[in-house]
Amino acid sequence: MKIGVIGGGQLGRMLALAGTPLGMSFAFLDPAPDACAAALGEHLLADYGDQEQLRQLANDVDLVTFEFESVPAETVAFLSQFVPVYPSAEALRIARDRWFEKSMFKDLGIPTPAFADIQSQADLDAAVASIGLPAVLKTRTLGYDGKGQKVLRTPEDVSGTFAELGSVPCLLEGFVPFTGEVSLIAVRARDGETRFYPLVHNTHDSGILRLSIASTDHPLQALAEDYAGRVLKQLDYVGVLAFEFFEVDGGLKANEIAPRVHNSGHWTTEGAECSQFENHLRAVAGLPLGSTAKVGESAMLNFIGEVPAVSEVIAVEDCHLHHYGKAFKAGRKVGHATVRSKDRATLDRQVKRVEALIKN
């Protein structure tokens, strides 16, 4: 089976690493000449709007999936005419736009931060008056790793901020004084069967994920599965979906969903019986889903800007390096390590050893 992937970054690369043993082959459409997934499949070097290349991709593969959600809606609609596309154009349309996404959560009775659609500085001033400060202004589309957003703390922060973010449609959100951030990686098959991985506790720095630790019997697991289940059903979703939550007042508030495999699920490659990458491919290909059970305690650390010395990373007990083969650059995710252990205290010590190797 040949899978077309829109986007050719590290997520596409890891999908191919998981799918190749299943007998799958891959073609990636990505406008970047140095797309790091290209080492593991064909690379169609083209813009996402290039209809000729999209046509060629559709002719050449059995189905199309995505490794990032900011694909133009027209691209997805165009491809859907010729080839099965999972997740659907509708799921992408909702998940790539923070206003549609939060409005869907609200309609489904899933708690969210207070939010308002912002089309102008006047909208922003009015929304700040009703939501209050602190608040977070985010571009509705194209934001990632904390890019395209700004925390507003004082009235001075508010003036001119709409222009600062590019005078594009935005969302204002109340700032959530969360006690923690967790994410739920879910997978739904074509026949509707749904499975969930254990909740993951995430630590961010400057909007970029640094550390994910898979939990054991998290008290909010059932609630998170209930919320995610509503979204999966609403979207008639096929594939892996990641759901980011804020933990607050002993409950959950929905932050965002990602219609794809997710950085906070990378631990599953070694830490779960079937990884998020394999399960995504199983789902979109119409194959039986794999077990989402943990195989022990598990964590993932991101390498931002540069990867520490390989010999030192893999010298840590049961530590597994994933090097993306990308050019090193400040603020860019260039690799990660997963760490496993039989017990949590040992895991924490292994995580500290890897953290000590990270320079930035």
Q: Which part of the chain contacts ligand ADP (CB under 6 A), choosing from 37-45, 53-61, 170-178, 319-327?
A: 170-178
Binds ligand ADP (CB under 6 A): choice among 36, 136, 211, 337: 136
Q: Smallest distance, Å, CB 183 to ligand ADP?
A: 9
Which stretches within the chain are classed as H helix?
10-19, 51-60, 73-80, 89-95, 98-107, 121-131, 155-158, 161-164, 221-234, 268-271, 276-284, 310-313, 344-357
Q: Smallest distance, Å, CB 144 to ligand ADP?
A: 5
Nearer to ligand ADP, 225 or 256 (CB): 256
> Burial of 150 by CB count in 10 Å (0-12 exposed, 13-18 middle, 19+ buried)?
middle
Helix (H, G, I), strand (E, B) or coil at 78: helix
Q: Smallest distance, Å, CB 182 to Mg ion?
A: 12
Tokens of residue 184, six digits: 């739920």
Tokens of residue 66, six digits: 């995505």
Binding partner at 335 among Mg ion, ligand ADP, none, C-beta below 5 to 8 Å by kind: none
Binds ligand ADP (CB under 6 A): choice among 93, 190, 201, 204: 204
Q: Which residue is nearest to Mg ion (CB)?
A: 244
Residue span 243-262 as binding mask against Mg ion, x where in contact by CB under 5 A, dash where not: -x------------------
Nearer to ligand ADP, 181 or 270 (CB): 181
Report helix angle 221-234 to 98-107, nearest 10. Answer: 110
> Burial of 285 by CB count in 10 Å (0-12 exposed, 13-18 middle, 19+ buried)?
buried
Binding-site size, Mg ion (CB under 5 A): 1
Strand partners, 66: 6
Q: Smallest distance, Å, CB 58 to Mg ion?
A: 30
User: 25-29 and 42-44 as β-strands: parallel, antiparallel, unpaired?
Assistant: parallel
Nearer to ligand ADP, 101 or 297 (CB): 101
Q: Smallest distance, Å, CB 43 to ligand ADP?
A: 26
Strand partners, 182: 201, 245
Distance CA 64, CA 225 (A): 27
Q: Which part of the chain contacts Mg ion (CB under 5 A), choosing from 22-30, 96-104, 240-248, 293-301?
A: 240-248
Binds ligand ADP (CB under 6 A): choice among 89, 93, 108, 175: 175
Asked whether 231 and 159 are in contact (CB, 8 A), the reply is: no
Nearer to ligand ADP, 58 or 118 (CB): 118
Nearer to Mg ion, 242 or 283 (CB): 242
Nearer to ligand ADP, 101 or 225 (CB): 101
Q: Which part of the chain contacts Mg ion (CB under 5 A), choosing from 44-52, 129-137, 241-249, 352-360?
A: 241-249
Distance CA 36, CA 277 (A): 16
Q: What is the DSSP letter of 9?
A: S
Distance CA 5, CA 277 (A): 13
Nearer to ligand ADP, 90 or 145 (CB): 145
Asked whether 355 and 301 are in contact (CB, 8 A), the reply is: yes
Distance CA 277, CA 263 (A): 11
Nearer to Mg ion, 69 or 297 (CB): 69
Per CB under 6 A, contacts with ligand ADP among 207-266 are 207, 244, 255-256
Per CB under 6 A, contacts with ligand ADP among 70-129 are 113
Measured in whole angstroms, how far is the alpha carbon of residue 57 from the centre of its chain?
Answer: 24
Binding partner at 67 among Mg ion, ligand ADP, none, C-beta below 5 to 8 Å by kind: none
**Is there binding between residue 176 and ligand ADP (CB under 6 A)?**
yes
State the DSSP string of 247-295: EETTEEEEEEEESS--GGGTTHHHHBSS-HHHHHHHHHTTPPPPP--BS
List of residues contacting ligand ADP (CB under 6 A): 113, 136, 138, 143-146, 173, 175-176, 181, 204, 207, 244, 255-256
Which residues contact Mg ion (rule: CB under 5 A)?
Answer: 244
